Structure 1
Amino acid sequence: MRDHLYLTLAAGLTAVLLLPLHATAGQSFALDSTQGLQPHGVTVEAVTYQGRKAVRVLPAVAASEEPQAAKNGEGGGIVVLPATEFQDGTVELEVAGKPRAGAAGGARGFVGIAFRVAADPSKYECFYLRPTNGRADDQLRRNHSTQYISMPEYEWSRLRKETPGVYESYADLAPGEWTRIKVVVRGGKARLYVNDAPQPVLLVNDLKHGNGKGAVALWIGMGTEGYFSNLRLSN
Structure 2
Amino acid sequence: MSGNDQTRRAAIGGAALTVASASSLAALAAPRSVGGTGLETGAIRAIGVDTVRTHYMGRPALRATALENVPELDRLVVLDTPAFGDGVIEAWISGAPSATASATARGFVGLAFRVRDEAQLEAIYLRPTNGRSDDQLRRNHAVQYISHPDYPWERLRAETPSRYETYVDLEPGRWTHVRIVVADSKARLHVDGAEQPTLIVGDLKHGADAKGAVALWIGPGTLAHFSGVRITS
**TM-score in same-fold range (> 0.5):** yes
Instruction: From the two aligned structures, give the one with the greater strand fraction.
Output: 2
Offset at residue 51 of structure 1 (A): 2.0
What SS does the aligned partner of 1:161 have?
helix
Q: 1:26 & 1:199 partners in 2: Cα distance?
A: 28
Letter in 1 for 2:154: S
Give yes or no for contact 2:130–2:141 (8 Å, CA) kept in 1. Answer: yes
Q: 1:65-89: per-residue Cα shift (whole Å, max 9, x none)?
A: x4xx4544xxx50111113311001
Match of 1:100 in 2: 98
What SS does the aligned partner of 2:129 have?
helix
Instruction: From the two aligned structures, give the one with the greater helix fraction.
Output: 1
Match of 2:28 in 1: none
Bigger drift between 43-52 and 25-34 goes to: 25-34
Q: 1:192 & 1:38 partners in 2: Cα distance?
A: 25
Q: 1:97 & 1:196 partners in 2: Cα distance?
A: 18
What SS does the aligned partner of 1:36 have?
strand
Q: 1:172 & 1:193 partners in 2: Cα distance?
A: 12
Offset at residue 18 of structure 1 (A): 11
* Aligned: 1:43 with 2:40: no
Q: RMSD of the TM alignment (CA)?
A: 2.3
Q: Which runs of 5+ in 2 are unaligned?
A: 1-7, 19-30
Give yes or no for contact 1:27–1:233 (8 Å, CA) kept in 2. Answer: no
Match of 1:11 in 2: none
Match of 1:177 in 2: 174
Q: 1:58 & 1:31 partners in 2: Cα distance?
A: 21
What SS does the aligned partner of 1:37 have?
strand
Q: 1:77-119: per-residue Cα shift (whole Å, max 9, x none)?
A: 011111331100111110000000110000000000000011x
Q: How does 1:213-224 map to 2 (within 5 A)?
A: 213-224=211-222
Offset at residue 60 of structure 1 (A): 2.4
Query: How many residues are matched?
Result: 209
Match of 1:4 in 2: none
1:56 pairs, out of 51, 60, 63, with 63
Give yes or no for contact 2:34–2:81 (8 Å, CA) kept in 1. Answer: no
Runs of 4+ in 1 over 3 A off after TM superposition: 17-25, 27-35, 69-72
Give yes or no for contact 2:63–2:225 (8 Å, CA) kept in 1. Answer: yes
TM-score normalised according to structure 1 size: 0.82
Q: 1:175 & 1:34 partners in 2: Cα distance?
A: 27
What SS does the aligned partner of 2:119 have?
coil
Letter in 1 for 2:77: V
